[in-house]
Amino acid sequence: MDVLTAIRRRREITRFLARPIPREVLDAVVESGYLAPTGNNLLSREFVVVQSRAMLDHLAGATPYVPWLKEAQAGIVVTGRPAVSKYWLHDAAIACAFLWLAAVEQGLGAAFGAIYHSEDAAESARRETYVRTALGIPDDRRVVAILGLGYPAVEPEPKTLPPREETIFFERFGGR
């Protein structure tokens, strides 16, 4: 599958089949995160791959917005390292996109669960501490997100996007 097809097929999948993900499929997805670019080629993001049913169920308690982890067959926790690069959040976000598209290419569904909360420091600390404690993540890392993975139980229809003319401009903002 080419990348544009994967982008067009990408959906937020929050219902998963109870079907294990073969190791080679999960490895291909993880490889995409590893290969994702980083600012100045600095190692400012890392990944924790979780397949334990008990741990996925536990991580579903990190925030009310990730209950789908209880059905996911794997989760990838993406961390950022502010001390390594000022681009840590960008690098982690790009890696999440690569992981998600690779999941689609491999026939998996994915859901994105934000753990880092840029507008509420107390909520971010609560969520990050919950995940950090469960997985032994060092204090100098920020816990950016958890991607839940699995074979889709349902395929949602595409969302309606705003007209391209309201989003894409040429040469200058508002330029047609």
Q: Where do the domains of the chain lie, and which CATH numbers do they carry?
A: 3-155 (3.40.109.10)
Residue 176 pLDDT level (bands cut at 50, 70, 90): confident
Work out the angle at residue 98's Cα, subtended by the Cα atoms of residues 24 and 39, and round it to the nearest 5 degrees.
Answer: 125
pLDDT surpassing 90 at residue 41: yes
For position 38, what pLDDT does the model report?
96
Q: What is the pLDDT of residues 49-77, one digit of tens each?
A: 999 999 999 999 999 999 999 999 999 99
For position 76, what pLDDT does the model report?
98
For position 8, what pLDDT does the model report?
83
Q: How far apart are CA 56 and CA 137, in angstroms?
A: 16
Question: Do 49 and 25 meet the contact criterion of CB atoms below 8 Å apart?
Answer: no
For position 157, what pLDDT does the model report?
87
